[in-house]
Structure 1
Amino acid sequence: MSTRPAGYSAISSYSRVEILHLIQERPQRTVAELVSATKLHANTVREHLQRLIDDGYVVSETEHRTTRGRPRVLYSAADGGRSFSPVQQRKVREAAQRGDLMRRVLPSELPPELTTEALHQVDALVENLADAGFDPLVNESELTIDLTPCAHAEVQAEHRQVLCSVHLGLMQGVIAQAGGPLTVDGMRSSCDPRECIVQLSTRG
């Protein structure tokens, strides 16, 4: 579990969550587009984007122009497919190293139910979730990650749908960047907004 408080996370600010949601819905967004959609000042949007880049959630690229004019900077979510974040890749490697070390120091009497690649994906996902303020509990046999009680359910209840969508996109991006057989299927539905269980699956 992370020792950093939930407030440390780049996605603890709803303004950044909103920006990330827009970028996840459609990549290669410009600052001007995000300003128009969020009604935030351009400098505020740039600050939020930089924080998201620093935490490995967003990547930027300069557009290729064939006409005159300054090329624009385009922002996309680090989804582990089209867009890779060097920050997130470093975090994934470090999470795998820590996970391997922990398994050597505290070996289980039973063999792991997941392959090494899958375990490294789970390592990356668990650390990312812990940094976002969750306390994830992994069930290897059922391929679930229990995030109950949801750290964001009551604090930002009115934005639950957007928050869940953003967190799901982040998890899919992290597990894709880690590489391996696992994918994120989604979240199990529940009447209790504080209850959140993420379902994983193996490809094929």
Structure 2
Amino acid sequence: MAPLTSGDAPPKGPLPARPRRRRPPLTRARAAVLQRLADQPEPCRVAALAAVTRQHPNTVREHLDVLVADGYATRVAAEPDGRGRPAWLYAVVDLEDVADDAVVVAREYAGLAATLAAHLARSSANPAEESLEAGSAWGHQLALASGREPAPNATAARRQVVAMLDELGFEPDADARAGVVRLRRCPLLEAAHEHPEVVCNVHLGLVRAALEELGADAGGAALRPFSEPGACRLDLLPRRRREPDV
């Protein structure tokens, strides 16, 4: 492969976020049924799965119904065999199908966010400030909903915020103290390119609020959109302690 020339340098800023699909967590009993289902070489009926799990068919059926509803398993009708309704055949979900569904959801979400960002940019007298406020409200809500407790020290709090950003699809790359974070992906990349004063400030407000909830000083948090090859730079250290760039 030929070396990169100056004209081939990667563009500054992050990549689009990888799509994710969140599914409800499994109970131990339901996970055991799903594992047994995954072990089967072909789709199987409730009776067969009940035999290998040594559970009552009604119990297995209840677990399977929830697994199907939550996206872990699929259900199709078997070929008719005599009178009566055909039996159901169950199988674990195809991971490629999950990815396809996630892409559709991500695109719909991104389209909605882009529309809202454009509206705020047009209609607000101070879109940057209002975006920070909206992001702050979101960040407080996310930090509380995550169940995370305030951290014992500022570094641990910053690391928890980095973990939240990873869950949101930013693919953060943080230094040892989580003082400088490079965001390699963006869940709203197209909208951020079109309206950075809105989208990027929403993300900054989110980070500052999460820092506050988790016990760190948010005063120095700053986001530098599209500032580096393949990333946006996020500074999390308080201003009085921030070290100069080298």
TM range (shorter): 0.3 to 0.5
TM-score of the superposed pair, with normalisation by structure 1: 0.46
TM-score of the superposed pair, with normalisation by structure 2: 0.40
In our comparison, the structure showing a higher alpha carbon Rg is: 2
